[in-house]
Chains A and B, each alone.
Chain A
């Protein structure tokens, strides 16, 4: 493993790839710091720029954007009291309280260091856990893959919406979308209505761009005339002291582990990790009353937690082919475009890509820390970029991105239609993530269900006679019941 990692470093430190990583991290920070632009949207609209690249280069750049954007969300949260991404919502109170005390530099540097810790811990866990999980996943057969898909959908549907039924409706709508096109077994065209463009089914990327970028831009238009809050000028650039960092380091490490584990669960995103980490830090603190008034652990915990997700979300993606969150779903789309199928065989067939990705994540987190600590002065300028200019740019980039996949105007049509659908979904509080995950997992669920039934000669007994499928059923029911109980006691954060 070590020599593969070294090879990964060698491939990243080349003149073709390293600048892309720098560009990705910096671009991600800028996107994340603009209120309203999520990490998912950032990766979706910049995905088309990677089409002409090698698989390693494309993944390195996208992962750089992901890492940067999750951290960038805290900049607007701290300076403007408006989270740049949903994942940074938990950072708002303590971060902005420090800014009001004239300690913007302390808040921003604390956020950068905590994000770095979260990212680093989760990448190390990704590197150590993934090969083991991939070996285990090699034992999977059709029934296990079917139940894995159902498990992923159950979790994402139950945690991504305040209303579980609406989460599941979203998931089943996605499964319906996945059946559009030729039936994988018989070749019979389903729901194509004579349109030959739909024979191969809906392309994932145009749907993703529509649901996440176009829909979000349309939502932004609703309040665009509201006066944009001007940024708090960073008057004091003094960084957080080493002693303070040492004091909060146990909180950071604990939150990083929690974020990674939450990220490993298909469907649980950075926003959930940030809130859980924040609550846990507050619960276990000797001074919980200080939280919300500029307390450093109140910044360190959510930031380490949300960046912890970056590595965790890639564990199920790389080992099982199941994305951990919406960004991982886009990365899956990027891999498919490059002709690579994620899953346990990826470690056998394309180790250079996997270890190139691991290395780029380690370096990407270091770059994020360097940029985060050295560019504090410029952050207030970034958050001042007017939305009135950004929204039209996003829409035009969305059109270009969807066209560039196949040089096909039909994909632009799909993007625009799903942009409108996504807009109504957001307004109706139906989460988009289950739809996307179902669209990706649908073919896997369908073909493996049909294979399983054939394997068992028309019986469904594979559901209760195989240990791993039983384990997935138990986990699915457990997650469903737990999230129902949690929702009764408190509303969960919105889908991001």
Chain B
């Protein structure tokens, strides 16, 4: 049964079960007004959703357990469990980290500078060797900024630098 922890579906079922429980329990904090103090208030629909979600999660967990039980111990984990290896996920995670930093820097250093830095960081992460890519990055960012600023009249974040 150790194989169950390697099954993606097990984790999907568990996480959605926890989400269902969370949604259901949060609905008890909703205050009902006198007018809507019946079962059709603000809690009505979220509770239906959470209950169905919990039932679906249990169905998925049950089917995963049954599948693992029916397979022998030595059998490989199956499904797409290899999709969650560090090797595959390290680049996306590095970029997610860059995006988080980018989001916080955006207010400070403005769209042009921050986006160029993000572009360069991503090129570095994906090991882009061609120098022209690093030149294209600021050109692309400035074009996007100009199109939105002057054509669509959308002022992108300027930060303390003003652009």
Contact = CB atoms under 8 A, between A and B. Distances in A.
A388 B42 contact: no
Contacts of B99: 395, 416, 419
Chain B interface extent, by class: 35 or more
Interface in B131-163: 133, 136-137, 140-141, 144, 147-148, 151-157
Interface stretch (A121-129, A281-289, A425-433): A425-433
Interface in B49-86: 49-50, 52-53, 56-57, 59-60, 63, 79-80, 83-84
B89 interface: yes
Contact of B92 (A190, A219, A400): A219
Nearest to B125: A221
B152 A165 contact: no
Nearest to A191: B26
Nearest to B145: A400
A388 B154 contact: no
Contact of A179 (B45, B56, B157): B45
Contacts of B96: 218, 419-420, 423
Interface in B77-135: 79-80, 83-84, 88-89, 91-92, 95-96, 99-100, 102-103, 106-107, 111, 115, 118-119, 122-123, 125-128, 130, 133
A246 interface: no
Contact of A396 (B53, B128, B140): B140
Contact of A190 (B30, B35, B111, B151): B30
A176 interface: yes
B8 to A, nearest CB: 5
Contacts of A175: 45, 49
B18 interface: no
B4 interface: no
A347 interface: no
Given A221-B95, A391-B122, A392-B137, A185 B36 contact: yes
A169 to B, nearest CB: 5
A191 B147 CA distance: 37
Contacts of B9: 163, 166
Interface in A414-457: 416, 419-420, 423, 427-430, 445-446, 449-450, 453-454
A186 B126 contact: no
Interface in A378-400: 386, 388-389, 391-393, 395-397, 399-400
Contact of A186 (B33, B56, B156): B33
B157 A395 contact: no
B21 interface: no
A172 B16 CA distance: 10
A397 B144 contact: yes
Interface stretch (A14-22, A231-239, A405-413): A405-413
B106 A409 contact: yes
Contacts of A49: 147, 152
Nearest to B98: A395
B144 A222 contact: no
Contacts of B42: 183, 185-186, 188, 190
Interface string A199-223: 0000000000000000000110110
Nearest to A180: B46
A188 B42 CA distance: 7
Residue among B99, B140, B153 with the highest chain A CB neighbour number at 10 A: B99
Nearest to B121: A392
B29 to A, nearest CB: 10
A403 B133 CA distance: 25
Contact of B49 (A172, A219, A430): A172
Contacts of A427: 8, 80, 83-84
Nearest to A177: B49
Given A168-B56, A179-B45, A392-B118, A52 B152 contact: yes
A428 B12 contact: yes
A173 interface: yes
Nearest to A392: B122
Nearest to B79: A429
B149 to A, nearest CB: 11
A444 to B, nearest CB: 12
B23 A186 contact: no
B40 interface: yes
A165 B63 contact: yes
Contacts of B60: 163, 165-166, 169
A225 B127 contact: yes
A177 to B, nearest CB: 10
Contact of A454 (B40, B45, B52, B84): B40
13 contacts: A176-B19, A221-B95, A388-B128, A389-B128, A392-B118, A407-B154, A409-B157, A419-B99, A423-B96, A427-B84, A450-B45, A453-B40, A454-B40
Interface of A: 48-49, 51-52, 163, 165-166, 168-169, 172-173, 175-176, 179, 183, 185-186, 188, 190-191, 218-219, 221-222, 224-225, 386, 388-389, 391-393, 395-397, 399-400, 403-404, 407, 409, 412-413, 416, 419-420, 423, 427-430, 445-446, 449-450, 453-454
Given A165-B59, A169-B16, A392-B137, 5 more contacts: A49-B152, A166-B60, A179-B46, A186-B36, A400-B156
Interface of B: 8-9, 11-12, 16, 19, 23, 26-27, 30-33, 35-36, 40-42, 44-46, 49-50, 52-53, 56-57, 59-60, 63, 79-80, 83-84, 88-89, 91-92, 95-96, 99-100, 102-103, 106-107, 111, 115, 118-119, 122-123, 125-128, 130, 133, 136-137, 140-141, 144, 147-148, 151-157
**Which 6 pairs, one residue from A and one from B, show the smallest C-beta to C-beta distance?**
A183-B42, A188-B42, A392-B122, A218-B92, A52-B152, A446-B45
